[in-house]
Homo-oligomer: A and B are copies of this chain.
């Protein structure tokens, strides 16, 4: 019997993406602390669209055009922006029914990088199972792209990747011979019994603490708060109603 299982690979940094690029894959972009957690939160709270913007200059242009703008670098809100990328900024009062332009240190770069792939899904612990369900339904190769930190490996994105790999491998539809996926799965198994204790040792936890931005840790590690799965297509991130399967973007 032929092996119809699709392959899973994990990319630990956008700087490694070129070694993995696969037009047959669904790409899952993850930046647990905090960009993709914030984007998922925004859709939970009714944002209509999120426009990921690579550069500060473009973010400034969107502000001039009247968009609400979330923009930061190294965890600091840019002076022209309405707010930074804490998920807590994306309140229903501010964003419901609105479009938000969004520019961050690492997450935006990863989203744009994946532009050539089949579907680009925005993932976080908040929508872990919903993302897994969509990937299982679609049944194509899966590339989990960690946003990392300035090109470096990030432990929290890796642990999330392991959680997603575990869910996919629980079906008989996927396989992996990718060392990054194997490592991510092992680290997730170490972390999952007490994820908040494990997160204490990630470097980004310390960076956020120094900036007074570490109030989001528990929120960003809350599992399955929503079934929203935002996806990136034609330059914007959208999501669909909770009970509607995601459309094929092409």
**Which residues of A are interface residues toward B (Cβ below 8 A)?**
12-13, 15-16, 18-20, 149-155, 158, 177-180, 182-183, 186-187, 190, 201-204, 206
Residue from B20, B186, B204 within 8 A of A187 (CB atoms):
B186
| Chain copies in the assembled complex | 2
Report Cα–Cα, A206/B179, bound state, in Å. Answer: 11
Q: Are A15 and B12 in contact (CB under 8 A)?
A: no
For residue A19, which residue of chain B has the nearest CB? B151
Give the chain B neighbours of A180 by CB distance below 8 A: 152-153
Q: Which residues of B contact A183 (CB under 8 A)?
A: 153, 155, 158, 183, 187
B182, A186: Cβ atoms under 8 Å? no
- Which residue of B152, B153, B177 is within 8 Å of A203 (Cβ)? B177
Task: Choose among B16, B18, B177 the residue that contacts A206 (Cβ–Cβ < 8 A).
Answer: B177
A179-B151 in contact (CB<8A): no
What would be 8 A-B contacts, judged by CB atoms less than 8 Å apart? A12-B153, A19-B150, A152-B178, A158-B183, A177-B203, A186-B187, A186-B190, A187-B187
Q: From known contacts A177-B203, A179-B203, A203-B179, infer whether A151 and B16 are also in contact, taking CB-CB under 8 Å.
A: yes
Which of B179, B203, B206 meets A202, CB within 8 Å? B179
Chain B residues in 8 Å Cβ range of A155: 179, 182-183
Q: Which residue of B lies closest to A190 (CB)?
A: B186
**Inter-chain contacts of A151 with B (CB < 8 A):** 16, 18-19
A179 to chain B minimum Cβ distance, whole angstroms, is 4
Q: How far is the CA of A178 from the CA of B20 in the complex (A)?
A: 24
